[in-house]
Amino acid sequence: MNLITKRIKGTQDLLPDKSDKFEYVESVLKNQAKLYGFRLVRTPVIEHTVLFERSVGENSDVVSKEMYTFLDKSGRSVTLRPEGTAGTLRAILENGLHNNLPVKVMYITSCYRYEKPQNSRYREFFQFGVETFGSKSCLADSEIIFLVYSIFKKLKVQNLKLEINSLGCSECKKKFNNDMKKYLEKNFDNFCGICKERMYRNPMRVFDCKNENCKKNLKNAPIVLDYLCLRCKNHFDDLKKILDLEKVNYIVNPRIVRGLDYYTKTVFEFIDNKSEITVCGGGRYDNLSEEIGGPDLPSVGFGLGIERLLSLVKDYDLEIYPKVYISIIGEKARFKAVELAENFRNNNISTEIDILNNSLKSQVKYADKAKAKYCLFLGDRELENNFVKFRNMVSGEEKEIDMNNILNYVK
RNA sequence: GUGGAUAUAGCUCAGCUGGUUAGAGCGCCAGAUUGUGGCUCUGGAGGUCGUCGGUUCGAUUCCGAUUAUCUACCCCA
């Protein structure tokens, strides 16, 4: 085969084999979130570019080099969403939902980032996320962490670790960044080029560098947690207390800072022990609403990578098999078979029928592969005497059933 | 953007230091079994050997370029 074109780099075709699993996981995500009181929102894939510049942060890698941004026909700069939070918050504010607090919403959407694809990393990927708006309380933080936990439990995903940290409010962040900058400047020559740039734009992010040398030089660097004001410290301590009470295991890692600029106070990541890949990341973003022109609206949420989650889900249960297969023997039976099939389907019985004009043998073979429960045979003999031959595909048992009674039989 | 690997049938892959007609397994279709799946046997369909160029009497094989895929880094879900 020589197609004129293939799928776009970093995108995936979701074929029936995998889509069953996708549907299953999606239903678990939605059901668990509903248990916690989150309701679904859908926002457009496409937003004005400025929304992401302001929220995710112009200096972040996501905005500065990974966005699908283009001018539409009227010359407006628009962007395919690179994450779910900004659009969700925009929609909440624009539609005035923040007048009834708290607002708890979830979303499952595709996101787009123009980067080089690799393991568990795509240009089009699916994100599940929840956001709680209007609560300063660490109960809101713990609630979403419990939700993630319950999802993994339900899906039987194990070997994940939870790392948490607190970045503090804007005051704490500012003080820390100042000292961090001083520290980095003192050791300026010991850091790699990227870090050197970062120390001026967003010093905290130097912690994300994986360069061994840089890591070494960070050993005596200031620690965010030492800079928390009393309120932030209490918030973080309370969160830990609640997690302890519910026996949720976590590691405090003062080095996780996250790449999206909007995070404040609590941040957390669920990391797969084997691959070290972050499956779920989130935290608090109390200033984001004001950043995009909204009121003071404390918020907390997370994003969870569906593809990454799918690769961790081993077994799942989803009945998708047709119940009945109708095999057709000879020309005359075709119309009767169609009539029967439609009758079954109208009665909520999933039914398949030969549409390839295949031999009877391959028809039954197909029924077997499709895992149909029953196979019906319709040929001249049956038509003449007004019955249907009925075969139980599991036991192999066969019966002749009166045509007028067949519906009750397959039910 | 930087590094590594790969590209042969629908899928997974063989193909020796270059040599007639490019193979296997699985899958698909058919027959053995003239109206019946799972097991077995037999046959069949299906390939511009990623693309372009070079070396050669001759290239799937060697060389160059290009594209695509995978993978590591950066970053993130």
User: How far apart are the C-alpha atoms of A160 and A149, rounded to whole Å?
Assistant: 10
Q: What is the amino acid identity at position A287?
A: N
- With CA atoms as reference, report the closest residue to A54 among A287, A281, A264: A287
Note the pTM of the prediction, 2 decimals.
Answer: 0.89
User: How far apart are the C-alpha atoms of A235 and A237, rounded to whole Å?
Assistant: 6
User: How far apart are the C-alpha atoms of A366 and A350, rounded to whole Å?
Assistant: 15
- Feature table: binding site of A for L-histidine: 83-85, 113, 127, 131, 258, 262-263
Residue A211: pLDDT band (50, 70, 90) is low
A235-244, A267-276, A348-357, range with greatest mean pLDDT: A235-244
Residues β-bridged to residue A353: A326
Is 80 exceeded by the pLDDT of residue A169?
yes
Q: Please report the sign of the dihedral spanned by the C-alpha atoms of residue A151, residue A152, residue A156, residue A157.
A: positive
Please state the rounded mean pLDDT for residues A358-385. Answer: 91
Please identify residues in chain A, positions 130-189, with a C-beta within 7 angstroms of any atom of strand B: none
How far apart, in Å, are the Cα atoms of A310 and each of A78, A120, A156, A304?
Answer: 30, 10, 11, 11
Please identify residues in chain A, positions 38-67, with a C-beta within 7 angstroms of any atom of strand B: 60-62, 66
Tell me if A268 sits within 8 A of A284, measured CB to CB. Answer: no
Is 70 exceeded by the pLDDT of residue A163?
yes
- With CA atoms as reference, report the closest residue to A86 among A124, A122, A57: A57
Distance of CA A145 to the CA centre of its chain: 15
Name the closest residue (CA) to the C1' of nucleotide B73.
A210
Is the Cβ atom of A29 within 7 Å of strand B at any atom? no
User: How far apart are the C-alpha atoms of A328 and A367, rounded to whole Å?
Assistant: 12
- With CA atoms as reference, report the closest residue to A37 among A160, A134, A164: A134
Please state the rounded mean pLDDT for residues A394-403. Answer: 91
pLDDT for the residue numbered A2: 66
Residue A192: pLDDT band (50, 70, 90) is low
A16: enclosing H helix or E strand: helix A16-35
Please state the rounded mean pLDDT for residues A11-35. Answer: 91
Distance A136 CA to B70 C1' (A): 45
Pairing of strands A324-328, A374-378: parallel
Q: ipTM for the complex?
A: 0.84
Residues β-bridged to residue A164: A252, A268
Residues β-bridged to residue A5: none
Rg (CA), chain A: 28
Tell me if A243 sits within 8 A of A145, measured CB to CB. Answer: yes
User: How far apart are the C-alpha atoms of A18 and A9, rounded to whole Å?
Assistant: 19
User: How far apart are the C-alpha atoms of A151 and A147, rounded to whole Å?
Assistant: 6
Is 70 exceeded by the pLDDT of residue A210?
no
How far apart, in Å, are the Cα atoms of A51 and each of A74, A78, A313?
Answer: 18, 9, 34
Name the closest residue (CA) to the C1' of nucleotide B9.
A1
Is the Cβ atom of A99 within 7 Å of strand B at any atom? no
- With CA atoms as reference, report the closest residue to A284 among A177, A167, A201: A167
Please state the rounded mean pLDDT for residues A308-335. Answer: 85
Nucleotide nearest to A280 in CA–C1' terms = B77
**Average pLDDT over all residues of chain A:** 89
Distance of CA A71 to the CA centre of its chain: 28
- Residue A225 DSSP label: G
Distance A122 CA to B28 C1' (A): 32
Residue A17: pLDDT band (50, 70, 90) is confident
A62-66, A99-103, A207-211, A407-411, range with greatest mean pLDDT: A99-103
- Looking at chain A, the whole-number percentage of residues with pLDDT higher than 70 is 93
**Beta-sheet strands, E only, within A289-397:** 299-305, 324-328, 351-353, 374-378, 387-392
Is 90 exceeded by the pLDDT of residue A85?
yes
